[in-house]
A and B are shown apart, each in its own frame.
Chain A
Amino acid sequence: MAAIVRLSSMCRRGVKPLFYQSPLLSRPVAALQRDHEQQHLPTARIHSSQALHGSDAKAASRHWTAERVLSVVLLAMGPVAYFSPGPVVDYSLAAALTLHGHWGLGQVLTDYVHGETKVKIASAGLFVLSTVTFAGLCYFNYNDVGICKAVALLWSK
């Protein structure tokens, strides 16, 4: 599926193309080399990402969208919590806050934690933290004054 076209524009003055077709590179190339001429031209290697199939292909994109939707929902909950405090808002807030935090910390993890084992351990730890957080907030909502009232009391001090 390789497009066989001229490379002249990539070789601008002073700019070296990064990906030279060289035996030193161990990357697998899915394309068939048909032209002799190609071997003298620098080859740009791109990701065709055919490893993802079916529902997996859009999973990351959908996650991104869900993160933004949740952010907007959480934003809207601010005024709602202020003007109509109560148990429904308390539990909704507990869920939205925990999930927003869970996904946010997940991005931090993706950025700074590398290596399969480390990622697995960190993800597990995050999952435990988020679960405990949600449990604690629900417990507080059920057995104590609830989130809205707690904020109001704290601020009235």
Chain B
Amino acid sequence: ITFARRGVCLSKPHYNALCRHVAPMGSTAKEEMDKFWSKNTRLNRPVSPHVTIYKWSVPMMMSITHRGTGIALSGAISAFAVAALVLPGNYSYYLDLIHSLSVGPYLIGLAKFGIAFPLSYHTYNGIRHLCWDIGKGFKIPDVYRTGYIVLGLSIITSLALVGRGAGT
């Protein structure tokens, strides 16, 4: 909120109009957060509605999708790793197994899209995040613009990857 201004005023004490009374607390932010949660869970208080009542925006949805795709991709990698350790036979065996099911080109294409899209989206949106990390692209119109670019690129890349696989 207004903490930034407070920081500025402390270094320039002659700006009396902007200065306010400040008292440092003896606890860290983490301790305060822990106290908040332990008190409220102890008293069994419900959490106020937030995501269920606030109007959803494209940036909000893209943010949670970034998290969702990240979790999904990580889960898929872990599942693959566990499978490699646990299942008998080798990779080619299981590939042939899937192949022999002859599910049809459309379903294979759909499955590939299902892998390609989360990967593309997470990668492109990840670049968008890195741009924010160096301080670029915070203005709201830019947030929306870069967001739509990420969505567009993700769809195009995923389709291209699926199309490429089908061609070989």
Binding site for B on A (CB under 8 A): 1-10, 21, 27-31, 38, 41-49, 51-52, 68, 71-72, 75, 78, 97-98, 101, 104-105, 108, 114-116, 129, 132-137, 139-140, 143-145, 150, 153-157
Contact = CB atoms under 8 A, between A and B. Distances in A.
Report which residue of B70, B73, B85, B127 has the largest number of chain A beta carbons within 10 angstroms of its beta carbon.
B85
Interface of B: 2-3, 6, 9-10, 13, 16-29, 31-34, 37-38, 41, 67, 70-71, 73-74, 77-78, 80-85, 90-92, 95, 98-99, 108, 112, 123, 126-127, 129-130, 133, 161, 164-165, 168
Given A75-B127, A115-B41, A30 B84 contact: no
6 contacts: A45-B24, A71-B130, A104-B74, A144-B84, A155-B161, A157-B165
B71 A30 contact: no
Given A155-B112, A156-B168, A47 B71 contact: no
| Main SS at interface, chain B | helix
Contact of B21 (A5, A51, A78): A5
Q: Sorted from nearest, which 9 A-B pairs have the closest CB atoms? A: A136-B81, A5-B19, A48-B24, A101-B74, A28-B26, A114-B37, A140-B84, A31-B23, A155-B165
A21 B164 CA distance: 66
A153 B20 contact: no
Contacts of A139: 81, 84-85
A46 B77 contact: no
B165 A43 contact: no
Given A48-B25, A105-B71, A8 B108 contact: no
Contacts of B127: 75
Contact of A49 (B29, B33, B41, B164): B29
B25 A51 contact: no
Nearest to A49: B28
Given A47-B27, A154-B95, A136 B84 contact: yes
B126 A75 contact: yes
Nearest to A2: B23
Given A116-B34, A144-B90, A44 B27 contact: no
Contacts of B2: 10
Contacts of A49: 28-29
B20 A44 contact: yes
B24 A72 contact: no
A4 to B, nearest CB: 7
B18 A28 contact: no
Contacts of A72: 130
Contact of A3 (B19, B81, B85): B19
A1 B77 contact: no
A2 B22 contact: yes
